Amino acid sequence: MALPQPEPTATPSIGTETRFVLRPLGGSFGRSEIALDDLIEKTLDAVILIDTKNVIRHWNRGAELMFQYSREEVVGRRVGFLVPADLLESGELEWIQSRIDAEGSLANFMTRRIRKDGSERWVSLTRSVLHDTDGRVVGSSAVFRDVTEERQVRQELARAGGLAILGEMSVTLAHQIKNALAGIYAAIQVLSRGLEPGDERRDVFDEIGHEIKRLDETALDLLRYARPAPLERAPTDLGPWLEATIGSISLLPEVRRHRVEIDAPEGLVVPIDVELMSQVVNQLVLNAAQAMDRPGEIRLTVRKQTGGVEIVVADTGEGIPEGRLEAVFQPFYTTKSRGTGLGLSIARKNVEAHGGSIGVESEVSRGSRFMIRLPVGPRRDRGTVLE
């Protein structure tokens, strides 16, 4: 049995206030009538009615929430203000119109639209032709569903899958490189043994050995990133641990010319993997040292926080432009002439393996601050202990 069709209570016209009602549907809704415009108004999707000149004639509550414009601000305006400039130039609106002219509708079209605050959102657009009671085309309806977060999740999953494959390839490649480098380095050592102290070839062999070690460290970085070592936590007093960690790296020429200071409270004991967290601190201190062309200051500060501790590594270098802040932890991102660009990516993995997080703040010409945050459990006799 066919369901009754909606019955208009006024002459249909997008340009006027029109109320459509549904007849009772076989008693399934009792004897009450359901207002069609109430259904449209209360849906969370953005529903827009557009006339044949692309002028907005209706703007529901969902559209107000999604695009941040009130109904009074948009009714009577052409829809182009919602479309990003690049899509307008590409002729997207004309292409959509040609599709609905030819087929009557366009379903689940992925595109972008602009909110009142200037931000862009990814939306799924369904557009359908509207007819009056005489069958004449009077415009079209546009239904938008915000899929920005959903799309980001899909991209992250795809990225994670790609990185997993890359990680497996990196492990195989790194092992092969390390094996070959070990053989080459051994051969160089044998060849250099018979040379006299003043032989100029000794300098050449030394330089080759230096480059081999650098390549070996690159291969090791690939292994660290692709397959992080399992955690081996041990209760560690952060103050003495930082002193010992900085004591070793401070001998490097690029670090030695700067003043390095540590400010840590006594007795703050946290179970950490000393080797992995030392790699994190060493990487941050080395980056800070290399960010300063002139002698400067590197300060490491440990702070107790509600539910955790924070280790801050701050420098007085040139800082990081705002547009690059989001990229510094990405794999293979580097601004150095040498290096794999994996140092900060490995650091982030090591911190996250401890259940923590790492962030960065920077101001050009004023320096940068890297913040390591670790969760902390209940009090113990020897201090605060991370569980």
Mean pLDDT, residues 355-366 taken together: 88
In this predicted structure, the answer to whether residue 310 has a pLDDT above a threshold of 70 is: yes
109-113, 318-322, 339-343, 376-380: which has the minimum mean pLDDT?
376-380
Least Cα distance to 365 among 264, 285, 293 occurs for 293
- pLDDT for 333 equals 56
Give the number of other CB atoms < 10 A from CB of residue 320.
Answer: 19
Q: At what angle do helices 200-226 and 343-353 cross, to 10 degrees?
A: 40
Query: What sections of 194-265 are H helices per DSSP?
Result: 200-226, 238-249, 253-256
Mean pLDDT, residues 238-248 taken together: 90
Q: State how far the alpha carbon of 237 is from the alpha carbons of 46, 234, 268, 308, in Å.
A: 56, 10, 5, 14
Angle at 308 between CA 307 and CA 309, to 5 degrees: 155
- Give 222-234 pLDDT, tens digit per residue: 666 666 667 888 8
Angle at 11 between CA 7 and CA 16, to 5 degrees: 120
Mean pLDDT, residues 212-218 taken together: 74
31-40, 168-177, 193-202, 292-301: which has the minimum mean pLDDT?
31-40
Which CATH superfamily does the domain covering 234-384 fall into? Histidine kinase-like ATPase, C-terminal domain (3.30.565.10)
**Angstrom distance (rounded) from CA 82 to CA 84:** 7
DSSP character at residue 23: P
Domain ranges of the chain: 7-146, 152-226, 234-384
- The pLDDT > 70 percentage for the chain reads 75
CATH of 7-146, one of 3.30.56.10, 3.40.50.1100, 3.30.460.80, 3.30.450.20: 3.30.450.20
- The pLDDT > 90 percentage for the chain reads 24
Q: In this structure, are residues 113 and 67 in contact, taking their beta carbons and an 8 Å threshold? A: yes
Two tokens, residue 118: 């200037």
In this predicted structure, the answer to whether residue 105 has a pLDDT above a threshold of 50 is: yes
**Angstrom distance (rounded) from CA 269 to CA 266:** 9
